[in-house]
Structure 1
Amino acid sequence: QSSSASMGMLIALASQGLIPITAALPILYGENIGTCVTSLISSIGASRNARRAAIMHLTFNVLGSVIFMFILSKPIIAIVTAIDPTDAARQIANAHTLFNIINVIILLPFNKLIVKLALKLVPETKGEQDDDSKVVKYIDDRMIETPSIALANIVKETLRMGEKSKESLNAAMDGIVDKSKEKIELSFKREKLINELQKLILNYLLKLSKASLNEDSRDTVDALFNTVNDIERIGDHAENIAELAQDIADSEMSFSDVGIGELKDMYNKVVSTYTYALEAMRTSNVELACKVIKMEEQVDMMEKSCRSNHMNRLNSSSCSIESGVIYLDIISNLERVSDHAVNIAQQVIAGRIVNK
């Protein structure tokens, strides 16, 4: 279970002349497999990603041991013997170092295949993908000991939160257009999940900020604090629209066909802007992030046009005052969503969020 402890015992035996290098190497390779037990045990009851990480650790060491046992064993013995002809303990220590270095060099190009194997061994069912019973999906406090993995996972969790905000916004607008109470309730349900995610992600970011991070990773953590809040604010605007949809359903008021058409056009532009912002964050695509800023300018123009056209309808008495106020609130909330999308895109443009 502990390669360090067993290596110490092996070196002690070799230093007393009780075991030669040829007999020590198979034990050395076995130790590197045995040390995977720790991660396998710690993954019991953990998230699927934690179990996949343990499987990848085991796969990596098993493959390395097979390669060294059947292909590289004689070359390794020749190298360590040439470096230190008489000291068996030093030969074993050097062999252990070479095993780990060469193993990484050989298997690193195949890391995607190892990941695919882990995904196949620990698959995710469709039902689990859609399950909201677990608030968080990717983050695990045990991963903070490996900051690079923890950072990649928190970016994924933030993107997942972003998708939940989009789902809430979609449901809220469907509630406006279709007067669907089911969609309105779905939007409220998503908003509660978004608020829980915000608290858990911010708490995790705070813990991660105290870990050993390089300068770029620390910039990403700092940027994610802002991005999580932007996503939560988008959820708030979706909730505002859902509340307006509920008012419309309760009072049985309606908008003109022209007004509904303008709302749909603006909404589609806003959702596209937000979707591109999330995709820019997911892929670290600066060009796409710049496109978000240009699209937001179009949203601003659409908001002004919708406001002006609606005031004309109010003046011509083709729309009631009550529905007019709600209409203006809707387009105001939609415009604010695009503003937060720009904030997300600007973090990508500044190079502060780099998803590796």
Structure 2
Amino acid sequence: MPVIEVLETIMLLLGGLGAFLAGMEIMSESMSRLAHGELRRMLNKTAGNRFAGVGIGAAVTMIIQSSSATTVMVVGLVNAGILTLFQATAIIMGANIGTTITAWIASLGSLDVSVFLLLFAVVGVFMKMLSKRENIKLIGDTLTGIGLVFVGLSVMSSAMDPDLHPEMMGVIKEALEVVKNPFLLLLIGVVATGIIQSSSAVTSIVVVLATSGVLIGGTGDGVYYVVIGSNIGTCVTALLSSIGAQPNARRAAIIHLLFNCFGAVIFTIFLLCWGWFGTSFQDTVLNVIFPENYQFQIAFFHTLFNVTCTILFLPFAKGFVWLANNLLRSKKGEASPEEELIAHPDERLLRNPSVGLAYLYQETGKVFAFSMDTLDKAFNAFLAKDTSVSQSINERNGEIAQMSRQEVAYLVKLSANSLVMEEEKTISSLHYVLNDIVRIGELADNVTKYTGHYVNDGLHFSSEFLEMLKEMYAKIQKLYGLSREAFEKKDFLKLREVDALEDEIDNERRRLVQAHIQRLNEGKCQPQNSSVFINLVGNLERAADHITYIAHSIEQNQ
């Protein structure tokens, strides 16, 4: 066999695979950006409905064209405490169904229509070059990705064409068809997928080989063991991504592995038992549905495997959660993501900016709550004349500053992605929000200093003044509740209530200061009280301003 023919075949095969994977990546990226907010909203709708979870997992995977990416995203969301293990289980099952679309796309490469699909790449490039509208450019990218997928399939098919490379294909066919052992074929699927990190790519290669007349494992059901193995191999990505994550995130990756392994065991036994009756599942069933069309038979089997496994295992979703919890038991004193103030910004979510941004938005709300709780503690300490909390408030401020720096660093990483305008505006607004949160913490620190003067200088404030101060702070707490609701739900109607209450607080500050000046003039108040009094009231009013700014940050996202 000429060396040049071997090199040409290898180069064509690798080049075709590269074009295929590049097309999948471009298509995934552009479709994700087109559906930017929808991915987040879909994942938020899972609640406790396992059927909704399956549908959402399938839909998200069809959009981003990668079950591995969906599972890694789910691991990240579980790590952040956004999804429960039960919700994650249903989404993972759905992701396995969603990934089957790639095999169907690959099987189209054998049809005459694939020639026209190649033109999508050219059409997509021109759409991106000539249009100024963001959505049209993204549609152009999607078409370019589809075109590249079929370019890759076409090139791989050329590499495997027995008419162009008869000797090479003869050797490949003999080598691949001689492997008959089902467990060895399973292992081939596992290893190949583990290396390429894409079950879609492995299944597509199997389809391309079938198009060229090469069936791994020869005639019969041999090729389907490879497909089953690829479903186990795809778990490697999620397992690797869960290293160093919260226990629940690692459990989500384990559930993915258990689901695919149990499915593989059932279908392997099923195919082996079918073969004992003297015929293969392919000849008896698949060849009847798609006569002599191996590409569609493989795509159909891939879909059948994942849909059947989901139907079988979905009723036992809680059982998978129980099993994962027992395989990876919680250590004593271990905090869940929900119990923690804030998880470290999860790098797994950077792949999909809209989901990563939604996660960070939620975490920012937690830091906002922590900052407000710090102000509450400082104010209550003032009323109680308690100077012992000063160190605690100072430490809390350090935590707030540290969390703010982590989130800013995460925002910078998110900004490096290709973003739509809405995401860019949200990132910009979050920078300002984090600054406001830090300022609230700093104002709480100021309040503890005034408490020190209050106690150490032997100052006295009347019960009337303290009651007025409590009334003002009660309004600040109510303002916080309205602002956080407006911020988290992006409720623009709440802004009117926020502004009205903030005006009341401003008026309250002026009323308090004027009343204090009047008491000074009447000799009812000591002059040395003025510094603490006016600064305390002023700092509380400024805290209300920052709380209001956070509510109004949602306007920057329009």
**Which of 137, 143, 155 is residue 361 of structure 2 equivalent to?**
155
Contact in 1 for aligned 2:246/2:337 (Cα 8 Å): no
**TM-score, structure 1 as length reference:** 0.79
Contact in 1 for aligned 2:341/2:370 (Cα 8 Å): no
Code of the aligned partner of 2:522: S
Q: When the two structures are aligned, how many residues end up with a matched partner?
A: 344
Code of the aligned partner of 1:229: N
**Which of 489, 508, 524 is residue 283 of structure 1 equivalent to?**
489
**Which of 516, 538, 542 is residue 310 of structure 1 equivalent to?**
516
**Which of 407, 422, 429 is residue 223 of structure 1 equivalent to?**
429
Partners of 1:212 and 1:80 in 2: how far apart? 43
Deviates more, 1:29-38 or 1:51-60: 51-60
Displacement of 1:202: 0.8
Which position in structure 2 is the counterpart of 1:260?
466
**Which of 34, 43, 66 is residue 233 of structure 2 equivalent to?**
34
Contact in 2 for aligned 1:138/1:157 (Cα 8 Å): no
Displacement of 1:339: 1.1
Displacement of 1:352: 2.0
2:509 paired with 1:298: no
**Larger Rg: 1 or 2?**
2
Code of the aligned partner of 1:16: V
- Specify whether residues 24 and 270 from structure 1 end up closer, same or farther in structure 2 by C-alpha distance, changes over 3 A only: same
Equivalences for 1:24-63 in 2 at 5 Å?
A: 24-25=223-224, 27-48=226-247, 50-51=249-250, 54=253, 57-58=256-257
Partners of 2:456 and 2:337 in 1: how far apart? 30
- Specify whether residues 331 and 88 from structure 1 end up closer, same or farther in structure 2 by C-alpha distance, changes over 3 A only: same
Partners of 1:324 and 1:129 in 2: how far apart? 47
Contact in 1 for aligned 2:479/2:501 (Cα 8 Å): yes
2:407 paired with 1:201: yes
Code of the aligned partner of 1:128: A
Which position in structure 2 is the counterpart of 1:7?
203
- Specify whether residues 253 and 215 from structure 1 end up closer, same or farther in structure 2 by C-alpha distance, changes over 3 A only: same
Unpaired runs of at least 5, structure 1: 71-75
Displacement of 1:341: 1.5
Equivalences for 1:303-342 in 2 at 5 Å?
A: 303-342=509-548
Contact in 2 for aligned 1:135/1:197 (Cα 8 Å): no
Unpaired runs of at least 5, structure 2: 1-193, 270-281
Partners of 2:538 and 2:491 in 1: how far apart? 28
Which position in structure 2 is the counterpart of 1:73?
none
Code of the aligned partner of 2:461: F
2:442 paired with 1:240: no
Deviates more, 1:161-170 or 1:45-54: 45-54
Displacement of 1:6: 4.3
Partners of 2:338 and 2:358 in 1: how far apart? 22
- Specify whether residues 196 and 86 from structure 1 end up closer, same or farther in structure 2 by C-alpha distance, changes over 3 A only: same
Which position in structure 1 is the counterpart of 2:214?
16
Displacement of 1:186: 2.1
**Which of 88, 96, 99 is residue 294 of structure 2 equivalent to?**
88
Partners of 1:168 and 1:46 in 2: how far apart? 28
Contact in 1 for aligned 2:371/2:441 (Cα 8 Å): yes
Displacement of 1:243: 1.6
Partners of 1:340 and 1:216 in 2: how far apart? 23
- Specify whether residues 216 and 264 from structure 1 end up closer, same or farther in structure 2 by C-alpha distance, changes over 3 A only: same
Contact in 2 for aligned 1:43/1:51 (Cα 8 Å): yes
- Specify whether residues 89 and 302 from structure 1 end up closer, same or farther in structure 2 by C-alpha distance, changes over 3 A only: same
- Specify whether residues 144 and 343 from structure 1 end up closer, same or farther in structure 2 by C-alpha distance, changes over 3 A only: same
2:370 paired with 1:168: no
Identical pairs, percent: 30
Partners of 2:514 and 2:268 in 1: how far apart? 77
Contact in 2 for aligned 1:138/1:156 (Cα 8 Å): no
**Which of 335, 342, 363 is residue 128 of structure 1 equivalent to?**
335
Contact in 2 for aligned 1:135/1:196 (Cα 8 Å): no
Partners of 1:201 and 1:129 in 2: how far apart? 20
Code of the aligned partner of 1:28: V
